């Protein structure tokens, strides 16, 4: 239900934003009109596939829906029709297809480990049945299934070293698609990882599962921190930020109930902040006609609402108050240090500090400074300002006070994932 709510919220806002955005891009010849006409049918199939992922109890159906998201987003990534878009779409298709093949092997292996349950009349691909009988599964097959699924869905989630498709796809896709890829699709892949992690933890124990999660998570955070510092392209910068935050979420899954709570909360907060950033970046590209950050200066003078949205999104994504990622990252660091994992907490804190410095080092010059002489002040597309304002408001409210209903829901999710462990 939580993943479904995030999906619906970000999708609705991206649809409000997309209409005027596509009209302006088509009018300027940057997206062929014949391709723009197919956007809405493709984006709704994409939305349906993500909803299917959230609702499916069968791990087989989860795999099918995740494969469908790959197939339907390939034409969305190359909607511009230029060479770079086609290359990004091809790379995305190949790498994610390899990843989803690994996930299929993991699903088949988990099915093979449930033969005893199937013999007793259970539905051997039903996650709710599998997780309830996890202690009866074949541990060798479960271990292999977890590793294959983690590699496969981890690729789709953008975890290092399987993240190579993500910066290209996010930078070349139209802005509303980038917002959905980063703010929703990565969470759906993470949802699949959580399901396999829950089964593996109950069958093998946390000590057998957590080190792998921590290794992938820290690798993602460290790799992303480096590329954030040296990045030159605005949308690629946001893409590497997504790699970092997916790593943070995976680390949280390895830190027990408190860490899982923080990870789930952070998934929500990242979706809101990253949607805000990508939608703001789209307005920047519309006005400056470039994604190269060295050519983007004086946003405060050129388009003040966009500057405010991009500034707020930047502060949110690096974990500064009063935005919600600050609270979820604080909870996750608390789970690491108070849970007896000071090394993990210290390494994560160092990576977050490096990312903070690198991200703001790019953001401040874009907002301030003199406006380039060839760039005239411009107005944002219709709905861009109210959509951005709503996202800022949601992020601030979630930091100031976590709603009681959301807190209880996250706690119930933790209980479901851990089997009641506190």
User: The tokens of 123 are what?
Assistant: 């539905």
* Domain identity same for 121 and 216: no
Say how many domains are in the chain: 2
Tell me which residue has tokens 């993990």: 344
* Domain identity same for 116 and 173: yes
Rounded to two decimals, the pTM is: 0.94
* Domain identity same for 164 and 305: no
* C-alpha span between 273 and 315 (Å, rounded): 9
* Domain identity same for 26 and 159: yes
* Domain identity same for 121 and 214: no
Closest by CA position to 197, among listed 244, 256, 247: 256
Q: Quick: pLDDT tens for 321-352.
A: 999 999 999 999 999 999 999 999 999 999 99
The low-confidence residues of the chain, meaning pLDDT below 70, are 1-2, 118-123, 420-422
* C-alpha span between 14 and 416 (Å, rounded): 31
Which of 164, 188, 204 terminates a domain? The answer is: 204
Which of 165, 189, 204 terminates a domain? The answer is: 204
* Domain identity same for 229 and 200: no
* Domain identity same for 84 and 130: yes
Q: Quick: pLDDT tens for 65-112.
A: 999 999 999 999 988 778 888 999 999 999 999 999 999 999 999 999
C-beta neighbour count of 234 within 10 angstroms: 27
Helices and strands counted in the chain (H then E): 20, 0
Measured over the CA atoms of residue 397, residue 400, residue 404 and residue 405, the dihedral's sign is positive
The kind and range of the H/E element at 245 are: helix 234-253
Which of 180, 204, 228 terminates a domain? The answer is: 204
* Domain identity same for 305 and 271: yes
* Domain identity same for 285 and 392: yes
* C-alpha span between 32 and 263 (Å, rounded): 40
User: The tokens of 156 are what?
Assistant: 């789709």
Q: What is the dihedral of CA 145, 45, 190, 77, to 10 degrees?
A: 100
3-class state of residue 126 by DSSP:
strand
* Domain identity same for 72 and 165: yes
17: domain range? 1-204
* Domain identity same for 19 and 121: yes
* Domain identity same for 284 and 153: no
């Amino acid at each position: 239900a939580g993943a479904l709510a995030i999906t619906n919220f970000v999708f609705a806002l991206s649809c409000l934003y997309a209409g005027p955005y596509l009209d302006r891009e088509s009018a300027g010849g940057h997206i062929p009109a014949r391709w723009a006409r197919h956007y809405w049918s493709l984006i709704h199939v994409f939305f349906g596939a993500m909803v299917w992922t959230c609702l499916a109890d069968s791990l087989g159906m989860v795999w099918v829906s995740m494969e469908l998201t790959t197939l339907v987003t390939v034409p969305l990534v190359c909607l511009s029709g230029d060479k770079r878009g086609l290359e990004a779409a091809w790379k995305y298709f190949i790498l994610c297809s390899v990843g989803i093949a690994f996930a299929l092997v993991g699903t088949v292996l988990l099915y093979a480990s449930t033969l005893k349950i199937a013999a007793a009349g259970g539905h051997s691909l039903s996650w709710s049945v599998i997780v309830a009988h996890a202690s009866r599964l074949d541990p060798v097959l479960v271990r292999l299934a977890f590793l294959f699924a983690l590699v496969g869905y981890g690729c789709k989630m953008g975890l290092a070293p399987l993240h190579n498709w993500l910066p290209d796809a996010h930078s070349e896709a139209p802005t509303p698609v980038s917002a959905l890829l980063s703010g929703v699709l990565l969470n759906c892949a993470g949802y699949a990882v959580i399901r396999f992690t829950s089964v593996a933890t109950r069958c093998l124990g946390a000590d057998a599962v957590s080190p792998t999660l921590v290794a992938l998570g820290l690798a993602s955070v460290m790799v992303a921190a480096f590329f954030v510092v040296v990045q030159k392209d605005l949308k690629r910068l946001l893409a590497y930020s997504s790699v970092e935050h997916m790593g943070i979420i995976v680390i949280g899954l390895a830190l027990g109930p408190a860490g899982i709570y923080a990870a789930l909360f952070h998934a929500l907060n990242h979706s809101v902040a990253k949607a805000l950033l990508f939608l703001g970046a789209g307005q920047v590209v519309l006005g400056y006609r470039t994604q190269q950050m060295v050519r983007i200066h004086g946003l405060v003078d050129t388009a003040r609402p966009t500057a405010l949205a991009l500034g707020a999104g930047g502060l949110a994504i690096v974990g500064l108050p009063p935005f919600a990622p600050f609270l979820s990252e604080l909870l996750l660091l608390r789970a690491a240090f108070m849970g007896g994992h000071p090394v993990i907490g210290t390494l994560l804190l160092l990576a977050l500090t490096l990312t903070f410095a690198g991200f703001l080092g790019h953001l401040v010059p874009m907002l301030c400074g003199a406006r380039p002489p060839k760039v005239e002040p411009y107005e944002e597309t219709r709905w861009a300002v109210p959509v951005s304002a709503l996202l800022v408001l949601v992020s601030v409210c979630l930091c100031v006070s976590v709603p009681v209903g959301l807190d209880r829901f996250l706690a119930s999710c933790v209980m479901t994932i851990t089997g009641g462990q506190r």
